[in-house]
Amino acid sequence: DVERLKKPDWIRVKAATASSRFYEIKDILRANKLVTVCEEASCPNIGECFGKGTATFMIMGDKCTRRCPFCDVGHGRPDPLDVNEPGNLAKTIADLRLSYVVITSVDRDDLRDGGAGHFVECIQKTRALSPNTKIEVLVPDFRGRLEKALNIFADGLPDVMNHNLETVPRLYKEARPGADYKHSLVLLRDFKKMYPSAVTKSGLMVGLGETDEEILEVMRDMREHDIDMLTIGQYLAPTSSHLPVRRYVHPDVFKMFEEKAYEMGFVHAAVGAMVRSSYHADQQAHEAGVA
Ligand code: SF4
Ligand code: SF4
C-alpha cells in the first residue's frame, strides 16, 4: 500500500469561479452534446480556462479503448462515430467565438484510420465557419495505422500537432500500456517532415516515479525528432485508484527544466506544476509564433 504524499503548498487548485462565461460555455456544450477534457479529466484549471473562453474538446466519444492508469477518462467499447459531430463542433466553436481551440480524442483502436479522418473533418468544418481560429489537435498514437493516418491530414492541417509522450520510456509499461515510446516520437517527426508548416508539440507529466535526468533525456529525444513545443506539469492522481503521486516536483526543478528546454532549442516551453498540455494553449502558440 503506497502512503499518500501530502500536497505541497505550491499545488493550488483555483476554485472554479462562477463567471457568467463559465456557465455560458457549459450550457452551449450541453446543448451541442459536446464533451470536453476539462470536465472528463477533472482538470484543475477548468475555472480559469472556461472563464477566459478556452476549452479542449474531446471528439469521438468519452470511452477509450485503452486503459492508462493515470487517466480519468472512461473506458469500454466506444460508440459508433457521430457523423454530426464535426458540424456541431464547428458551430459551437463559432458560437463561442473562440480564437484558439484544442481538439483531442480518446484512443480509437477500433477504427481503421484510428480516427484521423474524423479529426480532419472537424478541422475542415471549423475552418469553414471560423477561418481565423487557430486549431491545435492533440492526437492518439495511431499505432498500427500511422502512415495512413498521417496521409489523411493532408486534407486538413492543424496549426499545431500535439501528441503527448506523457512519461519516460522506463515507465511506459506501467503508465501507458498499449503505447510505445519510439513510435510516439516517430509520429511527431514524420508529421513535421510531411507538413513542415505545422508546429509540433509534446508533453510530459512528472511525479510518476521518473528522475530529473530521465526527463532531460526525453527532452533531448524530442529535439532529435524536431518537436518544437514542450509542456511539463505535475501529475495529480484523479482518485485513489489511479497511479499514486510518487513525488511532487519543486518549482526550482521546473525552472531548471524550462531553462534547459530553451537551451535545447524548443521554440516554446510551458513548464510548471499546474501546466497541462492544453493550458494556455493559445498563449503558448502565440509565444511560439503560431497564433
Ligand atoms: Fe481544459 Fe486544458 Fe484548461 Fe484543463 S488546461 S481546463 S483541459 S483547456
Ligand atoms: Fe486516457 Fe489517452 Fe490513455 Fe485513453 S489513451 S486511457 S484517453 S491517456
Tens digit of each residue's pLDDT (9 = 90 or more) over 126-163: 999 999 999 999 999 999 999 999 999 999 999 999 99
Give the Cα separation of 281 and 229 in Å (integer): 11
Which atom of ligand 2 lies nearest, measured to the CA of 178?
Answer: 5
Which residues of the chain are under the pLDDT cut of 50?
Answer: 1
Residue 154 burial (C-beta neighbours within 10 Å; 0-12, 13-18, 19+): exposed
Name the maximum alpha-carbon separation found in the chain: 53
Q: pTM for the whole thing?
A: 0.92
* Residue 14, pLDDT score: 62
263 alpha carbon to ligand 2 midpoint, in Å?
31
20 alpha carbon to ligand 2 midpoint, in Å?
31
Give the Cα separation of 143 and 1 in Å (integer): 34
C-alpha cell at 239: 482518485
Residue nearest to atom 1 of ligand 2 (CA): 71
* Percent of the chain as helix, strand, coil, to the nearest 5: 40, 15, 45
Out of 25, 36, 38, 234, give the residue to mutate to test ligand 1, the one with the largest number of ligand atoms within 8 Å of its CB: 38
The response to whether residue 165 sits with its C-beta less than 6 Å from ligand 2 reads: no
Give the Cα separation of 63 and 74 in Å (integer): 5
C-alpha cell at 290: 503560431
Give the Cα separation of 249 and 260 in Å (integer): 16
